[in-house]
Amino acid sequence: MEKLKFVLTGAIAGILNGLFGAGGGMVVVPMLGHCGLPAERAHATSIAVILPLSIVSSILYLSIGHIRLASALPYLPLGLVGAVIGSKLLTKIKKVWLHRIFGVIVLYSAVRLLT
C-alpha cells in the first residue's frame, strides 16, 4: 500500500508538472512531510524529484514548439542566483516559517488562478 502511495504521488506530480510547470511540488512536499521527512528535507527532496520532470516537460514543449528557448533565457541568470540563495536560506528558516511561507505561496497561487 505504501508503494502505491508513492507511485500515485509521482504520477500526479508528473501530470501537474506537465500541465502547470513545477506545480508537482505542491503535491510532493506535503506527501514527503506526511511520510515523516522533516520540512527542510521534504522541500529539498521535492526539488530533486521535480528537476527531472521539468527537464522532460521542457524538452517536450520545446520539441512541439510551444516555447522558445530564447524566451526563457532572460530569466535563467537571476533564476539560478535565486535558487542558490533559496537553498542556503532553507537550512536557516525555522520549520514553522517554512510551512507558513509555503502555505502563503499555495494560497496566493490559488487566488491568482481563480481570478
How far apart (Å, rounded) are the C-alpha atoms in residues 74 and 48?
24
What's the domain count of the chain? Answer: 1
Rounded-to-integer distance, Cα 32 and Cα 19, Å: 21
pLDDT at 78: 92
CB 93 within 8 A of CB 43: no
C-alpha triplet 89, 102, 20: angle, nearest 5°: 110
Question: Averaged in consecutive runs of 10 residues, what is the pLDDT profile of the chain (115 residues)?
Answer: 76 73 70 80 81 83 85 87 87 85 83 83
Give the pLDDT of residue 62: 87
pLDDT in the model for residue 23: 62
Query: What's residue 81's pLDDT?
Result: 92
Identify the domain containing residue 110 by its residue range.
2-114
**Residue written as grid cell 520540512:** 39
